[in-house]
């Protein structure tokens, strides 16, 4: 590239393949191809959805991996004929709702609902390049989102959003390069999914095969209230799943104990806590911090008794059987509740302490492997974000 003697602001990315030079051109999304807004076949016609084989994307299907190979809902041929079809290589972007900006790419002829705008990429553009160009620019696009209860980018506003383009040869090389990284991310997601499935299968099988059971009331004891001040601690927050929730940095809700702590419970490492009066009742976490802390009265706290490892009980709270048993004991109509007494009635398989240790150690090694794989995934995603910021304007 010629020397920029006048220090003019050039339309060029920071990182570029050496064989390419010259400025990139201003464009808009509609220059990449035709924009198509999806639609939903009438749900009153069951035949449009029964035995469906055609992919029909909603925002829930986007943002996991780049390539869309499966959708939660599929359409029959008659239902598919009622949609606006988009060809393989089209770029799908969520433009309505809280998940606005989630993206994906069609791997075959498919359709989407009305929350998604799709770019049917033209011959002048590389579909992978278009996908990454929009990925890079979407944080800027958020300024164009209507300020209202439901965020929205209309088709007319979406197709006019500004971006940049370059020669087809450079587009091809950038798209191919970044697609290799996305393929590795997709592979890493599969590795993590397989590991999680393996862990869940081993845990469920281990508890299903035990012939002896005891009620939880015989192996746990509720922690009594103590009038003692404590340090700031992370309070268990509510997620959207029933079952075990693991304490981690994702929990943002915090309390600081006051001088009068008569209404609070002191909990120590390996103690458990759960909120019985939330929609996701049955969500239980084990306190793993090195220092004890104070938990709000909204949580019931308990600890294990006798020959019961806390880690063994923790694994039990992750089983499918525990979730089913919780469902059977839910009380209330508007606000579901699982009382401590109801929790104590749930039966837990009992095995010798040595076998508990063996099971816990095996699962711990798998979780260690899972943590490593998740770190790899985070690193790949960080690399992708860095490259997007450097290879695009």
In angstroms, rounded to a whole number, what is the distance separating the alpha carbons of residues 30 and 160?
A: 6
Exposed / middle / buried, residue 109 (Cβ in 10 Å: 0-12, 13-18, 19+)? middle
Divide the 393 residues of the chain into consecutive groups of 10 and give the mean pLDDT of each group.
54 94 95 96 94 95 93 96 96 92 96 96 97 94 72 90 96 97 95 95 84 88 57 32 33 35 54 58 62 59 84 88 82 69 88 92 95 96 96 95
Residues 324 and 297 in one domain: yes
358 with 294, same domain?
Answer: no
**Residues 301, 171 share a domain:** no
The answer to whether residues 96 and 147 belong to one domain is yes
Q: How far is CA 323 from CA 41, 253, 352, in A?
A: 35, 25, 24
Kindly report the backbone phi and psi dihedral angles of residue 47, in degrees, each rounded to the nearest multiple of 5, phi listed first: -65, -20
73: in domain: yes
Q: Is residue 204 one of the residues assigned to a domain?
A: no
> Under DSSP, is residue 222 helix (H, G, I), strand (E, B) or coil?
strand
Same domain, 235 and 308: yes
Query: Is residue 58 domain-shared with residue 183, that is, in the same domain?
Result: no
**H/E run at residue 220:** strand 220-222
Residue 228 within a domain: yes
Q: Is residue 347 a contact partner of residue 321, using CB atoms and an 8 Å limit?
A: no
Q: Beta-carbon neighbour count of residue 130 at 10 Å?
A: 25
Domain end call among 350, 369, 384: 350
Q: What is the model's pLDDT at position 253?
A: 34
Rounded CA-CA distance 125/169 in Å is 10
> Is the sign of the CA dihedral 308, 312, 315, 316 positive or negative?
negative
Is residue 11 situated within a structural domain?
A: no
Residues 309 and 367 in one domain: no
Contacts with 175 (C-beta within 8 Å, 6 or more apart), sequence order = 126, 127, 128, 129, 131, 132
Please indicate, yes or no, whether residues 46 and 135 belong to a single structural domain of this protein. Answer: yes
Any domain includes 172: yes
193 assigned to some structural domain:
no
| 262 and 227 Cβ atoms separated by less than 8 Å | yes
Helical segments of 209-242, H only: none
Instruction: Judge contact between 106 and 86, C-beta under 8 A.
Output: yes
Task: Please tell me the predicted confidence (pLDDT) of residue 274.
Answer: 62
pLDDT at 257: 37
- Which H helix or E strand runs over 355? helix 353-391
Question: Domain count of the chain?
Answer: 3
Torsion of CA 131, 135, 140, 143, to 10 degrees: 80
- Decide if 38 is inside a domain: yes
CB neighbour list of residue 189: distance below 8 Å, 6 or more residues apart: 64, 65, 377
Selection from 310, 315, 321, 313 nearest residue 362 by Cα: 315
Question: What does the pLDDT read at residue 289?
Answer: 57
**Residue 201: inside a domain, yes or no?**
no
Do 358 and 337 have their domain in common?
Answer: no
In whole angstroms, what is the distance from residue 265 CA to residue 293 CA? 8
Residues 119 and 175 in one domain: no
87 and 49 share one domain:
yes
The boundaries of the domain holding residue 370 are 167-188+353-393
Q: For residue 141, give the H/E element and its range.
A: helix 127-141
CATH number of the domain at 312, please. Answer: 3.90.220.20
Q: Kindly tell me the burial class for residue 354, based on how many C-beta atoms sit within 10 Å of its own C-beta (0-12, 13-18, 19 or more).
A: exposed
3-state secondary structure of 176: helix
pLDDT of residue 201: 92
β-partners of residue 164 are 26
Model pTM?
0.76
Do 335 and 220 reside in the same domain of the chain? yes
């Amino acid at each position: 590239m010629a020397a920029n003697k006048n220090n003019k602001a050039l339309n060029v990315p920071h990182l570029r393949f050496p064989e390419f030079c010259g400025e990139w051109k201003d464009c808009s999304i509609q220059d990449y191809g035709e924009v198509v807004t999806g639609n939903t076949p009438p749900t009153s016609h069951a035949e449009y959805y029964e035995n469906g084989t055609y992919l029909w994307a909603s925002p829930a299907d986007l943002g996991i991996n780049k390539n869309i190979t499966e959708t939660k809902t599929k359409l029959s041929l008659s239902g598919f004929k009622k949609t606006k079809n988009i060809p393989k290589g089209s770029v799908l972007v969520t433009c309505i709702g809280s998940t606005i900006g989630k993206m994906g790419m069609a791997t075959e002829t498919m359709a989407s609902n009305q929350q998604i705008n799709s770019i049917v990429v033209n011959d002048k553009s590389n579909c992978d390049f278009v996908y990454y160009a929009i990925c890079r620019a979407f944080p800027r696009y958020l300024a164009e989102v209507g300020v209202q209860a439901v965020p929205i980018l209309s088709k007319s506003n979406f197709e006019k959003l500004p971006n940049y383009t370059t020669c087809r040869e450079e587009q091809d090389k950038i798209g191919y390069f970044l697609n290799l990284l996305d393929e590795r991310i997709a592979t890493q997601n599969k590795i993590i999914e397989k590991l999680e499935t393996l862990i869940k299968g081993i845990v469920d099988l281990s508890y299903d095969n035990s012939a002896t059971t005891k009620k939880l009331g015989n192996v746990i004891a509720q922690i009594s209230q103590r009038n003692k001040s404590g340090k700031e601690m992370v309070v268990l927050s509510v997620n959207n799943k029933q079952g075990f929730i693991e304490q981690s940095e994702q929990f943002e809700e915090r309390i600081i104990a006051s001088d009068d702590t008569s209404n609070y419970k002191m909990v120590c490492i390996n103690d458990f806590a759960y909120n019985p009066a939330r929609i996701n009742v049955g969500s239980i976490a084990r306190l793993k911090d090195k220092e004890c802390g104070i938990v709000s009265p909204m949580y019931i706290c308990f600890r294990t008794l006798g020959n019961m490892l806390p880690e063994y009980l923790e694994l039990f709270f992750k089983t499918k059987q525990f979730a089913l048993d919780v469902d059977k004991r839910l009380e209330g109509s508007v606000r579901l509740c699982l009382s401590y007494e109801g929790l104590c009635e749930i039966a837990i398989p009992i095995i010798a302490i040595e076998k508990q240790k063996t099971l816990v150690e095996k699962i711990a090694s798998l979780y260690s492997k899972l943590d490593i794989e998740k770190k790899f995934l985070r690193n790949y995603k960080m690399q992708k974000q860095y490259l997007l910021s450097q290879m695009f304007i």
